[in-house]
Structure 1
Amino acid sequence: MNSEHLLTVGATLAEGPIWVDNALWFVDIKQQRIYRYDPATDTRDDWAAPEMVGWVVPAERGGFVAGLQSGPHHFDPETGTFERLAEIEPHLPANRLNDAAVDGQGRIWFGTMDNDESADSGQLYRFENGAVSEAEADKVCITNGPAIAPDDTVLYHVDTLGKTILAHAIKADGTLAPARPFLTFGDDHGHPDGAICDAEGGVWVGFFGGSAARRFSPDGTMTHEVRFPVSNITKVALGGPDGRTAYATTARQGLSPEQLAEQPQAGDIFTFRVDTPGKPVLRAKV
């Protein structure tokens, strides 16, 4: 399949797309902005964040939880204000938050990474009942995903620079079982970036430097590949009225002037249709 261009943004590093209340939300990490796009009316709003922002997820109390560099904050779109909920890794000022997902218990699973993309300082965390704790996963340079199976039994953890996706069983107490290999990719695929699960447990992955998004069944078989006219596909969200419209974020980061001239739509939002709808929107309990 091929994607279609949807929205001109020109983001340095668009990430974290999520379908909430009939609109697409996403961020530009490096430009410190949060976006809301309504496809029905073709209208876009955006807000400035006080720090680099890796993701937003809807909160049960209203508004959103935003993954700012220093830690999760409550974000109120009505006022544009941010309220710190927890501080993460103050001893690692070069780290930032990168990607997140909410499970059926309202826990936020999120990871950190070295913003310079060199040190293995990225850690996976869980945010539950107002407290943050380290998840039972090895440190890597760039954490991505995580993606959570629709029955909350499996968490997929992406090691972007290692070109590997690991699978952890989620125990009844919310801790993770030891990782098992799920997928490893060659140089021709690009780097696995953000990941989500659909309603059937399929895993959609964006490939940075790979010009593609791919879906894998729970046994690791690739079922779909979608091609793009730009190199850096960061993550996919599933939404729309029937949950079967995919929205993909992309990035200009890392492209040379020559590559940017060849890819004028880099950093924009693309769309395509899928057979299997996304999971219901889950709201964080904080």
Structure 2
Amino acid sequence: MSRHNAQQVLACGCELGEGPQWHAAAGRLYWCDILEGRLHWLVPASGETGHADFGHCISLAVPLAHGGVLVVGESALERFDPASGQREHLLDFEADDPVTRSNDGRVDRHGSLWLSSMGKAAEQGAGSLYRLHRGELVKLRGNLTIPNAICFSAGGEYAHFADTALGVVYRWALDGEGWPQGEPVAWADFSTRSGNPDGAVIDREGAMWLALWGAGKVLRLDGEANITDEIVLPTAQPSCPAFGGEHLDRLYVTTAREGMDADQRAREPTAGDLFIAELDVPGLAEPPLRLK
């Protein structure tokens, strides 16, 4: 098994860093601090950084096919223009449920967005999984606790997702238009291991890079869910990886300090920062989100 060490790339100090997304057209990485309601960005080529505060929990900002980004928030989906700061409400998202907020998400091979919700206090069964397809939000599954690890096979034959609370990553067969078929099946079980499956992304060889919350690692799983590589971080709570850079050979990893007591925060001063690992196998280009 190959081992890589992740390096700190930005001391952003997120309470709950999540949702890294590479915007290829702009050469920019976006990620969120869910609990602080802050959208961060980094332009690696210049070192430029910035942020925008939304005033409520946000978990994801994905590039839109016609410019700007779609920000997934606690109770709504918004179009956001980073240059002007202009925000436009597009859709409500569980706006009638004060218990929940948005969580993980990723654009599939068809340019549609899969996104999830969970209870703000991780209430059992409060979470759901959705697909935003050409502007229509469709609920795919409910009764989840912490839905995470949303990612897609290179050819779009499968979706993956996890329920972090159960420690299980599932695989779900998709039809030719990217809709689930039948029931998801358990694909990788971490319930008896150290750490819980959080965010994930697929590389060019079809392997999954999976963040293990609580274990301070990102693991590479081959098509049979065997562990082939690992990235070690200096902090215990990696939340989500994303490929970025011109050649998609850099794996950015968000982390969190949520739930850490004062002693643990002192031991892990880089908790909540953004990390990077350079890899031999690059990632897959992810399409922008299509709303029409």
For this structure pair, what is the TM-score category when the shorter chain's length is used for normalisation?
A: over 0.9
1:172-212 CA deviation, whole Å, 9 max, x = no partner?
24321211111010454311111111122211111111100
Written as runs of structure 1 = structure 2, the 5 A alignment for 1:1-286 is 1-20=4-23, 21-135=26-140, 137-177=141-181, 178-286=183-291
Distance in structure 1 (CA, Å) of the matches to 2:142 and 2:137: 17
Shift of 1:76: 1.1
Amino acid in structure 2 at the alignment position of 1:101: R
| Letter aligned with residue 16 of structure 1 | G
**2:11 aligned partner, one-letter code:** T
Hey, what's the Cα distance between the residues in 2 that align with 1:139 and 1:275?
Answer: 38
The alpha carbon displacement at 1:66 in A equals: 0.7
Q: Is the 8 A contact 1:124 1:139 kept in 2?
A: no
TM-score by length of 1: 0.96
Identity %, equivalent residues: 28
| 2: CA distance, partners of 1:113 / 1:145 | 13
**Superimposed CA distance per residue, residues 27-58 of structure 1 (whole angstroms, 9 cap, x where no aligned partner):** 11111111111122222111111321010110
Shift of 1:80: 1.4
Checking the alignment, whether the CA contact within 8 Å between 2:110 and 2:177 is kept in structure 1 is: no
- Corresponding letter in the other structure for 1:176: P
**How many correspondences in the alignment?**
285
Aligned residues of 2:126 and 2:142 also touching (Cα < 8 A) = no
Q: 1:163 is matched by which residue type in structure 2?
A: G
Normalising by structure 2, we get a TM-score of: 0.94
Q: Which amino acid aligns with 1:257?
A: A
Contact 1:86–1:131 (CA<8 Å) still a contact in 2?
no
Counterpart of 1:84, as a letter, is: H
Partners of 1:251 and 1:268 within 8 A in 2: yes
Q: How much does 1:268 deviate?
A: 0.5
Per-residue Cα deviation, 1:219-267 (whole angstroms, up to 9, x for no partner): 1111111111101000111111221111110001011100000000000
Partner SS for 2:32: strand
Query: Are the equivalent residues in 2 in contact too, given 1:57–1:66 (CA < 8 A)?
Result: yes
SS of 1:279's equivalent in the other structure is coil
Q: Using the alignment, how far apart are the partners of 1:267 and 1:275 within structure 2?
A: 26
**Aligned partner letter, 2:171:** A
4+ long deviations beyond 6 Å: none
Counterpart Cα distance in 2 of 1:118 and 1:203: 28
Alpha carbon RMSD of aligned pairs, Å? Answer: 1.3
The CA deviation at 1:281 is: 3.0
Q: Give ranges in structure 2 of 5+ residues lacking alignment.
A: none
Give the letter aligned to residue 253 of structure 1.
E
C-alpha distance in structure 1 between counterparts of 2:61 and 2:149, whole Å: 13
